[in-house]
Amino acid sequence: MDIQDVFPENPLMLSVKYLGTNQTPFTVPWAKGRVQLCTGFNTGRELDDDLFVNRTAFQDIEETILRYRECQITSIKDESGSSIATSSENSSFCISASVGSSFLGASGRGSYEKSIRDTRNTSSISVTANHSSGQIEFIQMPQLNLDAVRLLTTSNDPINKFRQMYGDFYVAGYRVGAVNGTTVSGELANKSFFEAKRAEIDLVAISKSIDEASASTSDSGGLCVAAFDSLTGFHSSFIARTYQDSIEAGNVISANKERAMTIAARAADVLEEVFMGRDQSACACISQDAVGQLWDRGLVTGLMLAPFTTLREYQSVLLRRSRTD
């Protein structure tokens, strides 16, 4: 299999297999349980299988010093259109869409993005907030363990055997931040918002549009409302068809939009609690316990994956072998 075999039909929807063949570091959105640093990842496996490998090629991981590197970036977007789910600007969604629920699962974030995929061909409006606070990474990479070195040294097919045993990528760090999204889609969204040429989620406008149309809306009509917030664990997904539904939709949309507008401040408050006033500046050391708290508080939003082939030790072992063969 070469790069032509796995090149995606839509270049904006990068597949995991393509990234693996290209040996390009990438970040996947994450909303499941904890994943230990240095966990192996096999891009060659089928998506129905577990892409993570239940063994590690590294040693002394728990003793390795970590650092928190601050990088404050906040993006809040109002979007409208018939294909929000395939927006070229939403690279996180593109990767998660290409692997189904492999990385997001049944979490609020996973359910939210599934709702977007399920309604991707309908007219939609959305407010999406992505806040990056920084990332967790190694100050110095741990060494490969003896079994991994032995495999690279003695196997008759070291690269492929290593991949089968440990994967071709490993978890090199965590993306720290918060994600929030609200999407309204369906027939009424098209009539109410696009004819008015506006993409804002407005409580009054939404309530009014549903009120006017609810009496004649069939079971297949209505507004599909989906919303989630990673910091609070909030998630809601339903179809608004009646007046009562419109009240609930308005409340959900208004409250979650407020969460989106304050996402950076809320993430900063949680970080302050976790760090307990300690230095959060660039390259500040962080304990394993503090990393665990970031997981518990919903601040780990992505896994940073790096190919083994970029490791200096991996390259050195293969180079020494080539010189002796």
Q: How far apart are CA 51 and CA 53, in angstroms?
A: 7
Nearest to 249 by CA among 198, 191, 188: 188
Q: Helix, strand, or coil here: 33?
A: coil
31: confidence class by pLDDT, cuts 50, 70, 90: confident
Mean pLDDT (whole number) for 22-34: 84
Which is higher by pLDDT, 217 or 311?
311
* Contacts of 242 by beta carbon, 8 Å cutoff, 6+ apart: 214
- Which pLDDT band holds residue 24 (cuts at 50, 70, 90)? confident
The arithmetic mean of pLDDT across residues 191-219, rounded, is 40
Enter the pTM of the model: 0.76
**DSSP symbols for 45-108:** S-TTS--EEEEESBS--TTS-EEEEEEEEEEEEEEEES-GGG-TT-HHHHHHHHTTTTTTTTSH
**What band does 221 get if pLDDT is binned at 50, 70 and 90?**
low
User: Residue 11 above 50 pLDDT?
Assistant: no
pLDDT at 114 (0 to 100): 60
How long is the chain? 325
What pLDDT band is residue 210 in, cutting at 50, 70 and 90?
A: very low
Residue boundaries of the structural domains of the chain:
3-324
131-140 confidence digits (pLDDT tens): 999 999 999 9
pLDDT at 18 > cutoff 70? yes
Residue 28's pLDDT is: 85
The Cα–Cα gap between 308 and 40 comes to 9
Highest mean pLDDT: which range of 96-105, 150-159, 213-222: 150-159
pLDDT of residue 90: 47
Q: Which of 129, 114, 134, 153 is nearest to 325 (CA)?
A: 153
Confidence of residue 268 (pLDDT cuts 50, 70, 90): very high
Amino acid at 231: L
CB-hemisphere CA count at 13 Å for 29? 28
Q: Which of 22-31, 215-224, 263-272 has the lowest mean pLDDT?
A: 215-224
State the Cα–Cα distance between residues 28 and 44, nearest whole angstrom: 16
